[in-house]
Amino acid sequence: MAMSRKHEARALSDDERELVEKSHHPEVQNLSDAELQKLVKTVRERRDKAQTEAHRRRREMRGKATPKGTRPSKMDAGSKAKLEVLAMSMRRLNGEVERRRQLAARIELVENARHALAMTKKKKPARSADFNTRQAHLGMRAVESGKAKSLVRPMERGRLRKAAAVAQAKRDARPA
């Protein structure tokens, strides 16, 4: 569920608020890769800590755990809200990390393709075939099949074949 920044600010402490602000759209794209990794690590630690605290409070409310303070917790809305805000921040950061990973992979793919093209162009041509020889020096040429491609899906063909077999079996089983 989307949360307003006002709701996020209410649920977090000052230093956590600064971390979460960095995970929002314009700021997260201005971070370097090292800063992004550091931020991911810090927010993940804070989220895990908030998750542990929320679970502890819920156990106290149910009477399963001994209270941390003098009295057991009666509500965990604050710790739950903090956990939700940090989890959303973590989701945004993971999305940015994945976006950068895919961008780097795309760039690398283009570089590899250009390198392969350059190597292919640089390669020396094979010795030309002697006139009127019957060897396939450069390999055989693929001959396209003249057979028309079937437009029926194989699953549909199998379904119809099975239906026909069942119908035939029913006819054969009828008394004559």
Q: Any idea which of 10-14, 100-104, 137-141, 163-167 has the lowest mean pLDDT?
A: 137-141
Among 52, 81, 89, smallest CA distance to 68 is for 52
Q: Can you give the three-state secondary structure of 68-93, one letter per residue?
A: CCCCCCCCCHHHHHHHHHHHHHHHHH
Instruction: Report the percent of the chain where pLDDT is more than 90.
Output: 47
pLDDT in tens, 114-162: 999 999 888 876 666 556 655 656 666 777 888 888 888 999 999 999 9
For residues 66-80, b (16+ Cβ closer than 10 Å) or e, as one string? eeeeeeebeebeebb
d(C-alpha 53, C-alpha 80), whole Å: 9
C-alpha span between 92 and 82 (Å, rounded): 15
pTM over 0.85? The answer is no
In this prediction, residues 73-85 reach a mean pLDDT of 84
pLDDT at position 25: 86
